[in-house]
Structure 1
Amino acid sequence: MIVITGASGSLGNLVVEALSNKQSQTSIKLTSRTPEKLSSWNSKGYSVAHFDFDDPASMEDALIGCSTLLLISGDAPVEKRIKQHGFAIDAAKKMGVSHIVYTSFVNPVEESLFPFAKIHQQTERSLIESEISYSILRNPSYIENLAGALTHARQTGVLALPGAKGKSTYLAKQDIAKIIVELLTSNNESSSIYELSGPEAIDLFEIATLASDIWETKVEAQVLPEENFKQMLSQVGLPEFMVTAISGLQQATAAGEYDLVSNTATQILGNKMLTIRDYLKTFA
């Protein structure tokens, strides 16, 4: 039995869609803190369960009969999320789970300017110490994280974010989901860390040049002041810890933390990944 956490989220839903093409419904259990959000999958015959990171008993119940667990990292303040992930790993060990696939992030080190790096560093450590075999996916930034800035650029001709001169190797959620499914269904009993990246490292100025070409209109990249960015994030209702995290992600990008290209995703998916050029065409 494969158990998916966070199945009601955007990445989780994409994983379920991709997994449904390779596994029978009876071999998959979908979980969420709010399982009512999974009603559409439940109506299609999928087993649905309550999985609350703050409630170990709910996790243990959800993991009954589970052989492989997909642990999708969520959003919570750093110290709280570290504890939640620890509870989930403890529950998995208690219930006899044999393999965990975890969605980590590139450069999960103490020195990172991205506050959530500490979550991933500590969770990876907990996984290693658990003695459960694991597949750790160190994902880069989602290409979809650029959606707001690109929508604004399409309307105004200005593409602006903090850290605009820093390169990142964006990967689409749909491609990460496909990689996850490959690992969930590989019957892999060994432990591995997968350094993932998109096909290229690119900065906002290079993206603006591509956008100008594809959209056939001038797009100018600018470095958005950090305080302006934080204010924008706060105005759309994000909690303070998320404002700090997203701002830190841009600082880490500017510092060159995410500019290394690996061929791991290409080896798993082939040359079928969504590129920045492909993504820009969806705004044309």
Structure 2
Amino acid sequence: MIIITGATGALNGATVDHLLAHVPASEITVAVRDTTKAQRFADLGIAVRHGDYAAPDSLPDAFAGADQLLLVSSSDPTADAVSLHAAAIRAAVTAGVGRILYTSHQGAAVDSPFGPARDHAMTEQLLADCGVAWTSLRNGFYAHSLDSLAGPWRETGVVAVPADGPVSWTAREDSAEAAAIILASDGKYDGPTTLTASAALTFADFAAIASELTGRTIEVDVMDPKEWVAAQVAAGQPEFIASFLLGMYQAAHEGFFAGVDPLMADLLGREPKAVTDLLTPAAR
């Protein structure tokens, strides 16, 4: 049996949808915080269980019987993500799970300026130490984030960022499809497994693409980091969120998101979506 957490979210929900092309619904279970939001899976014949990382006592039963368990990483910037992940890993060990898979990130590193990347690296170490077979899905930075990370460039004609560097912008839908294929392979992929688009683009590259698509000149303004944070706060962004996001740009500048890997294309049997495919219709 394959058990998937976080299936009411966009990433692992899509993973379940793709997995149905490989295995019958009777072999899939979803473990979610709010079972009332998982009715569409029940309607497909998929078992639905309650499981909440923040309620560790709920997890061993939620994970029981799993040959493979896909753990979604916490996306709450205010949470102690590593503690939540540790609780889930302990419960998986208790439940006798055969293999733990985890949605990590390409830039996972303890010395990254980006907080989630450090969380991913520490979680991977927990997996390596837990005594259970594991696979870390190191997904490229999700390309839909460009809508917010590039700022209101459609209105201003300027991509204002506090630092620039190459990022392997990767479609979340492609990451979900690749995860389903890896789950269906039943252990073929072990340990850190990098899943990215085929190119890494800077924000300057993005501005050039946006210029071509819109017929306008879109410029890049690399601002002083403190001035950028102040501008974000002035625009209504909470300061802790602006500071949190600053780490992403700094990590990009330092090359943490620059690598690309052909595995995604090999798994999908096609080229992964590129930034030109993913810009919203309003950009065209």
Q: Which residue of 2 aligns with 1:188?
A: 187
Q: Which residue of 2 aligns with 1:41?
A: 41
Q: Which residue of 1 aligns with 2:69?
A: 69
Unaligned runs of 5+ in 2: none
Deviations 1:167-213 (A, max 9, x none): 11111100110111011110116633212322111111111111111
Contact 1:112 1:257 in 2 (8 A): yes
Which deviates further from its counterpart, 77-86 or 24-33? 77-86
Contact 1:78 1:119 in 2 (8 A): no
Amino acid at match of 1:66: A
Deviation at 1:228, TM superposition (A): 5.5
Q: Superposition pairs for residues 96-175 of structure 1, below 5 Å?
A: 96-149=96-149, 152-163=152-163, 165-175=164-174
Q: 1:233 to 1:121 in 2, by over 3 A?
A: farther
Q: Which residue of 2 aligns with 1:52?
A: 52
Q: Which residue of 2 aligns with 1:265?
A: 264
Q: 1:243 to 1:199 in 2, by over 3 A?
A: same
Unaligned runs of 5+ in 1: none
Q: 1:221 to 1:261 in 2, by over 3 A?
A: same
Q: Which residue of 2 aligns with 1:179?
A: 178
Contact 1:214 1:281 in 2 (8 A): no
Q: Superposition pairs for residues 171-250 of structure 1, below 5 Å?
A: 171-188=170-187, 191-227=190-226, 229-230=228-229, 232=232, 240=240, 242-250=241-249
With normalisation by structure 1, the TM-score equals 0.90
Contact 2:71 2:102 in 1 (8 A): yes
Contact 1:133 1:189 in 2 (8 A): no
The whole-number CA distance in structure 1 between the counterparts of 2:222 and 2:153 is 13
Deviation at 1:134, TM superposition (A): 1.2
The whole-number CA distance in structure 2 between the counterparts of 1:238 and 1:20 is 40
Deviation at 1:79, TM superposition (A): 7.6
Deviation at 1:156, TM superposition (A): 3.0
The DSSP-based 3-state class of the residue aligned with 1:116 is helix
Deviations 1:201-257 (A, max 9, x none): 1111111111111222221122244346545379666683x5443221111112222
The DSSP-based 3-state class of the residue aligned with 2:115 is coil
Contact 1:106 1:138 in 2 (8 A): yes
Contact 1:161 1:229 in 2 (8 A): yes
Deviations 1:130-184 (A, max 9, x none): 1211111112211111013567223332222222x31111111001101110111
Q: 1:65 to 1:233 in 2, by over 3 A?
A: farther
Q: 1:13 to 1:166 in 2, by over 3 A?
A: same
Q: 1:239 to 1:212 in 2, by over 3 A?
A: closer
Amino acid at match of 1:140: G
Amino acid at match of 1:137: L
Q: Which residue of 2 aligns with 1:28?
A: 28
The DSSP-based 3-state class of the residue aligned with 2:152 is helix
Amino acid at match of 2:207: A
Amino acid at match of 2:219: E
With normalisation by structure 2, the TM-score equals 0.90
Amino acid at match of 2:135: S
Q: Say what the alpha-carbon RMSD is for the aligned residues.
A: 2.4
The whole-number CA distance in structure 1 between the counterparts of 2:159 and 2:98 is 46
Q: 1:3 to 1:234 in 2, by over 3 A?
A: farther
The whole-number CA distance in structure 2 between the counterparts of 1:277 and 1:177 is 20
Deviation at 1:68, TM superposition (A): 0.7
